[in-house]
Every structure is written in structure tokens, then in C-alpha cells.
Amino acid sequence: MKIWPSLGLVALVLTGCQNNETEVKTFNMDVSGVVFPVSVGSTESLTLKVKLGSNCSEPVLKEFKVERTANTLSLLAQRTVIVSKELPLICPPVYFYAIKTYIDPGTPARSNPFEVFVNGKSYGMITVNP
């Protein structure tokens, strides 16, 4: 058995991968649920648990992007992937889940009605106790 033709084929395939241009793509992560209390004080901390999903890799989220007013809390959960411009992104037939926690410090003071959004979708209202 001659090993050189096989090694040559492997080298050809590997060199074909080296010249691919890559780009960074940002995707909104899938949100399958958000858990939070039904009521909270106007300035006390508020803990939310967000169940995130991803079909290509484990959902790695460094931090939520946050927008906050007295009446709303908006979280944006995104992941960044480096992909080839020439080759398609191939994902395994597996879906990954992770639960991430966000703690809102309570400033500015909340007022009624207080609504929670994640990735642009409303997940409900929280009653604000004085």
C-alpha cells in the first residue's frame, strides 16, 4: 500500500481550507423561556433566568446587552460566530441549551407597569411594590 498518494490528497484538502476568507456573524440566540418573580420592590434587585438555545454550538453568551427604563427591561442575547465566506456553516443535528442569569440592580427605580423583553419579545409584566 502506498501512503504518499493518500498523504497528498490530505494535504490538498487541508490547503484548500487555509485560503478561505472568514467573517464574523452575530446571531440572536433562541430564547425558550424567561423566569422572574411576579412582583418586586421598586429599587430591590431583580433576578431573571433566561433559557437560551443554539443549534451549532453551546450557547456561549458573554453578557446580555441591556436597555433599562423605569417601565421596561430589555435584554438582547446574541452570539458571535466566525464563518467561512466560501464554505457553508455546517451544524450538527444537536440542539444545545443553557440557562443564564441576569440581575437587574433596581436603578432607576421601577414603576408600574414594568415589562420584561428578551430579544424583542415581551415575556410578561412584573408588579412593582412601593
pTM of the model: 0.74
Q: How many CB atoms lie within 10 A of CB 4?
A: 7
How close are the terminal C-alpha atoms of the chain, in Å? 81
User: pLDDT per residue over 22-71, tens digit each?
Assistant: 787 788 888 999 999 999 999 999 999 999 887 766 656 678 999 999 99
Q: What is the mean pLDDT of residues 9-21?
A: 53
- How far apart (Å, rounded) are the C-alpha atoms in residues 72 and 116? 6
Instruction: Say if residue 113 is preceded by a cis peptide, omega within 30 of 0.
Output: yes
Where does the pLDDT of residue 111 fall: very low under 50, low under 70, confident under 90, or very high at 90 and above?
very high
Provide the 8-state DSSP code for 3.
S
- Find, among 83, 95, 68, 66, the residue nearest to 20 by Cα: 83
**Among candidate residues 10, 27, 5, 13, the one with its CA nearest the CA of residue 80:** 27
pLDDT at 55: 72
**Ranges of each domain in the chain:** 20-129
Nearest to 98 by CA among 60, 55, 48, 56: 60
